[in-house]
Amino acid sequence: MENPYDMAIIGGGAAGLSAAVFACRAAAARGMTEGKLSVLVLEKGARVGRKLLATGNGTCNLANTEAAPERYHGRNAAFVAPALQRLPAGEVCRFFSSLGVECVTRENGRVYPRCLQAGAVLDCLRLEMQANGVEERCGTPVTALRQRGGGFELLTGGGDLCRARRVLVCTGGAASPSLGGSSDGYALLGGLGHSRSALFPTIVQVRTDPSLVKAVRGIRVDARVSFQLDGRELAAERGELLFTEYGLSGPVVMQISRCVGEWERKKQGRLTAVLDLLPDLDREETTALLIRRRRLKGRTLEQYLTGFVNKRLGQTLLRAAGLGPLSLPAEILTDGELAQLAARLKGWELAVTGTQGFAGAQATAGGVSTAEFDPYTLQSRLAPGLYAAGEVLDIDGDCGGFNLHWAWASACLAAEAMTAAQ
């Protein structure tokens, strides 16, 4: 059996890779000579950072200037406060600038690499790891984790056994299994006595009755979307909505989809998506505009909304309002029928059937109980020397860079605490 590493990091994602860099820098700041801190990163996949490469559709939304506990969720969202205080958005930018990745802040406080390349972020992290002598092993799943003699033994899928004085688990969550998401970390921590809450997908596409949306699939509109449970609004947001063959997607849906994932797990009550397709107009203004359009010469119902909303979307809404056939002249529409159409434009209600599941999700809601970890060090309260960071814990953030921000911040806090304990 090889000599023990000072630190073994399980998971080669955003949290794991940055933790390795933070640990080496913390060691240097404490006066440790080069090579004194031995760090091993174990990744089950063929390469590290696969999910990182996909973030922001490859542009890598690194952080958010508005990161605060109220933008996070879990049984105790306040748990994130010490980590965010240690690494606010400005510090995230300085960290990546020191790696060679220059950052810019765009709309809604979203921080991106100036080059808009997730691949560059990954490359710079790996280059810094290599410069500091961090050992990286891919294709090496950890199947068991045991406390032994003041440290830990890690059994890998190949039957090898390695030892470490301290271990950081940052295996991510169950979301995006095609990019490496799994339940491995929950099992490893569970083997050392840790518990977890129920898991469900978040930042995910939403399924509705496909017969109502298949005719408009591929159309993008600016809309206000709300999810309502038995008529009570759970969440609402305005932004870009994308109609798909299965239901609804786009940033506005992904941002508020957490309540849908939670409802899907319980399936209590009737959940609907209510779409305001003209968010800049009230219902009276919409009705007045529709009445004025009735005077357009020679228009059939098929052509009536052309130039006002997307043509296919308009035709679908006319059918949904019970107006037709579409070959009829638009001038026959009554004020009452136009008020009915205005109601559809301002509040098209679609029955929600669920989400696209973990396969389509960008993040996992739920996870290992934060009550079992110290929020100032991220060390386990049950197994001294064991730490956890990132999505494996019962913390998930809003869409917009909040989850990556939590990955860097929690990794920083854990790595510095582990290094101080050497």
Residue 57 has pLDDT above 90, yes or no: no
pLDDT at 81: 98
Asked if residues 387 and 378 have their Cβ atoms less than 8 Å apart, the reply is: yes
pLDDT at 34: 52
Q: Please compute, for residue 108, the number of CA atoms within 13 A of its CA located in the half-sphere on the CB side.
A: 11
Residues 317-343: tens digit of each pLDDT? 999 999 989 999 999 999 999 999 999
Q: CA dist 329 to 55, 175, 302, Å?
A: 49, 50, 9
Asked if residues 22 and 130 have their Cβ atoms less than 8 Å apart, the reply is: no
| Alpha carbons 389 and 285: distance in angstroms, whole number | 51
Helices (H), 30-88: 50-54, 81-86
**What's the chain's Rg over C-alpha atoms?**
25
Q: What is the mean pLDDT of residues 237-247?
A: 97
Q: What is the mean pLDDT of residues 370-386?
A: 98
Q: What is the mean pLDDT of residues 372-395?
A: 98
